[in-house]
Structures are given as structure tokens and as C-alpha cells.
Amino acid sequence: MDVVLGVSNRHVHLCERDFKILFGEEAKLEVVKELVQPGEFASNCFVTIKTEKSEIQKVRVLGPLRSYTQVEVSLTDAFKLGVKPPVRDSGDLAGSEGVTLIGPNGSIELSEGCIIATRHIHITPEQMAQFGFEGMKSVNVELPGEKGGVLYNVQFKVSPNYAFEMHIDTDDANAHMVKTGDIARIIK
């Protein structure tokens, strides 16, 4: 079973309140590029992630706004920032790392919200049944190429609205020298 890869660079999701603090009351989150997942988009807005140790500039805000603010980084980013974010699913932020976000209009100190995203596959309930994955929470996925290999613990994220696509971070992608649009193989 083949699946298309999407590589997620470090990015930020914002709640409405935090968006207004960072970008101003009148700011609008505009669509620069639609992503594969329906409704999701790369926006025109960027923030700086700042910690005691260092900072990473020009981190893109993905839209639309959410009910929570979340900062997704790779372990390589985490070493640079001097933080230890846990590996978590989106929205599972309790006890995760704190960082400061700086926008053109203001900044916010997050006591938690910074994570390394779990490797995951977006899939519909119909596809879970059709492909024989019902009852499974995760799979292993084989990556092609001269630095290929297998990624363990790839979680299913199931929703009727999802496009079938696998998301990995830049560390997974660079280790195995794969990129967005490459094809991986799900191992049952």
C-alpha cells in the first residue's frame, strides 16, 4: 500500500487571541498556498520562536486559526533552541515545552505548546476499512532510496475530511533523503 509523503517544516498554529496579539487586531491570515489536507493552508504570516538559548526566525503560521496555539519543531530545531519538546499528536499539549513567539505586533510566552509531531497518516474511515486498517492505531512505513529505511509508530489520523497523505518532519525526511511528493510503502 503506497502513500504520498508530505514533509512538514517547523510551523505554528495559532488561536484567534494569540494571532491578534502577534499580528494586530486588524490582521488577516491570508492563503498563500493550499495544503493537501482540505481547508489547511500556508499563510502570509511568520513568527520568531525564541528561547533563553537562541531563536529561529521566519517560522510560518499555518491556517486556518485553531482553538489552540501549537508550535511544531524537529529535534534538530529543539537542540538549537535548547528545549525538550515531547513527541505528541496535534492538540495534545499538556506539559509540553514552553517557548516565546514574537510577531510584528507583539509577543506571547507559551508555558506549553511546543511539540515534535508524531509521524502520522491522514486517512478517512472509509479508507481505513477499504485498505484493511480497521482497528489499527499505527503502522510501519518503508521509505525508498539510498538512505531508505522504515519508520515505526506512524499513527493513523482518521477523519471523513482528510486526504490520504503521510506527514513526517524534516529530520525524518532528511535522514532518509525523501521529500514531499515521494512515495512510501505502508507495511502491515
Q: Which of 164, 175, 180, 186 binds a copy of itself (CB under 8 A)?
A: 175
Write out the binding residues for a copy of itself, residues 136-165 only, by CB under 8 A.
Answer: 140, 146-153
Least Å distance, CB 186 to a copy of itself, is 14
CB burial of 28-43 (b: ≥16 within 10 Å; e: otherwise) equals ebeeeeebebeebbbb
Site string for a copy of itself, 122-141 (x = CB under 8 A): ------------------x-
Position 76 contacts a copy of itself (CB under 8 A): yes
Least Å distance, CB 159 to a copy of itself, is 24
Site string for a copy of itself, 87-126 (x = CB under 8 A): x----------------------------x--x-------
2-8 and 183-187 beta bridge pairing: antiparallel
Contact 61, 9 (CB under 8 A): no
Q: Which three cell numbers stand for residue 137?
A: 492505531
Distance between CA atoms of 112 and 141, rounded to whole angstroms?
30
Position 177 contacts a copy of itself (CB under 8 A): yes
Distance between CA atoms of 114 and 71, rounded to whole angstroms?
4
> How many other C-beta atoms lie within 10 A of the C-beta of residue 73?
28
What residues line the site for a copy of itself (CB under 8 A)? 74-76, 79, 87, 116, 119, 140, 146-153, 169-172, 174-177
